[in-house]
Amino acid sequence: MKMEIKPCPFCKSTSLIVDKKSRLAGFNGLEERIERHIYSVRCNKCKARGPIASGLVFAVKNYHNLPDPDWATTDEEIKNRAIDLWNGRII
Ligand SMILES: [Zn+2]
């Protein structure tokens, strides 16, 4: 699902990007690499930045037949949360 990003509340620009950062969170007992992915919406024009959304995702999943644990999320979920936070921001 592609979410709509509202224009920048400061400069009204619609030139917005969803910024992504990632860092190693560790390895689980199955040697699967876990990363913390951090998303925020950023305005290209005035450089305003929205609230940060982050979560833990599998960077490498060796055992695809195992269900994801409760703490695991997906890039799409985190990204959508960052967009929600940006869209709902009170100015
Ligand atoms: Zn702006």
How far apart are the CA of 6 and the centre of ligand 1, in A?
A: 11
How far apart are the CA of 14 and the centre of ligand 1, in A?
A: 8
Per the structure, the complete domain to which residue 36 belongs is given by 16-87
Structural domain total, the chain: 1
| Residue 2 within a domain | no
| Residue 11 within a domain | no
| Residue 62 within a domain | yes
| Residue 63 within a domain | yes
Stretches where the chain sits below pLDDT 50 are 91
| Residue 9 within a domain | no
pLDDT number for residue 39: 98
| Residue 58 within a domain | yes
Query: pTM of this prediction?
Result: 0.89
Share of the chain above pLDDT 70, in %: 96
As a whole number, the mean pLDDT across the chain is 94
How far apart are the CA of 10 and the centre of ligand 1, in A?
A: 5
Integer Cα distance of 82 and 77 in angstroms: 9
* Cβ-proximal residues to 56 (8 Å cutoff; 6+ apart), any chain: 25, 34, 35, 36, 37, 71, 72, 73
Is the distance from CB of 17 to CB of 45 less than 8 angstroms? no
pLDDT number for residue 91: 45
| Residue 44 within a domain | yes
How far apart are the CA of 19 and the centre of ligand 1, in A?
A: 14
| Residue 55 within a domain | yes
